[in-house]
Amino acid sequence: MKNNSHYFYLNGDIVPEAQAQLHVSDLGLLRGYGIFDFFRAVDGRPIFMEDHLDRFEHSARKLFLDIPVTRQQLREAILTLIEHNAEPLLGLKMILTGGYSPDGFAPTTPNLFIIAKPFQFASAQGLKLLLVEHLREMSDVKTLNYLQPIWQIPAMRQAGCQDVLYHHEGRLSELSRSNLFLVKNETIITPNTDILFGVTRKHTLALARQHFQVEERPVALDELWTADEVFTTGSTKRIIPITEVNGQAFTSSKVISHLQALFLSHEQQS
């Protein structure tokens, strides 16, 4: 890292952060049409990169956007970017937009860029959540559209909450940027409908299956209130407890602590 600045990837080039600029006619900016994925690199080692590339390709396919490089070229760009940004903990955000659109509506050649920034985990103490009735559009796609939770920021602040928990037609789905898990009688339960299939969720489930009963299924909102433990998973969080939803406290964290330890050692060996 030189002069405290970072290097980004932009359409085939590694450029200093200040030069990573797009034109205002980009469809990601004008219409929010685009996808992204985010992962960490720890001491120069990307964490679960192949899973994130799989999901990035899935998201691109669903939005009919062509990734302008091969998977191997993208992999190499990421590794080069990590070398250029010597940080113990680096966040990498790959973004693919609808491109420069002359009519401001129809997609053209996508713009592909990767932002690399030092990363810090949010506090692992636990999250307080605000229930919000909402169904994410194309929930299995990591689109650029986070209108709902950003719009909810004043309501969250007023309620002393750090995030929202979505439900729709009596079913729970996920938080704004992470997946939801309940623990009931040492069984681990997680929704499998109307969610983004998180990479952390996938690895947590694989570990959990070795030690606990696991149920991946639609989860009723009512099940929340009788859960023994509640937690969330995401690349920016790993596994963290949910301590409160709409004022109801969840204090136990026995299973959560076990899973946190399993996950940390799995991540270090991955």
Ligand X SMILES: Cc1ncc(COP(=O)(O)O)c(C=O)c1O
Residues that bind ligand X (CB under 6 A): 38, 174, 177-179, 196, 198-201, 233-235
Closest distance between ligand X and the C-beta of residue 177, in Å? Answer: 4
Task: Output the smallest distance, CB 17 to ligand X, in A.
Answer: 22
Closer residue to ligand X (CB): 100 or 230? 230
CA 129, CA 156: separation in Å to the nearest integer?
8
Minimum CB distance to ligand X, residue 244 (Å): 20
- The closest residue (CB) to ligand X is 198
User: Beta 219-220 vs 229-234: how paired, if at all?
Assistant: unpaired
- At 252 the three-state DSSP class reads coil
Indicate the residue among 7 and 205 with the shorter CB distance to ligand X.
205
Which residue intervals of the chain are DSSP H helices? 27-31, 49-62, 71-84, 147-151, 153-159, 199-209, 221-225, 254-269
For residue 138, which amino acid is it? M
Least distance to ligand X, CB of residue 240, Å: 12
Residue closer to ligand X (CB basis): 98 or 234: 234
State in angstroms the smallest separation of the CB of 180 from ligand X: 9
Do 100 and 23 touch, CB atoms closer than 8 A? yes
Spatial CA neighbour of 210 closest among 232, 188, 238, 229: 188
Of 6 and 201, which has the nearer Cβ to ligand X?
201
Q: Which of 85, 51, 59, 86 is nearest to 203 (CA)?
A: 51
Q: Rank residues 101 and 199 by Cβ distance to ligand X and give the closer one.
A: 199
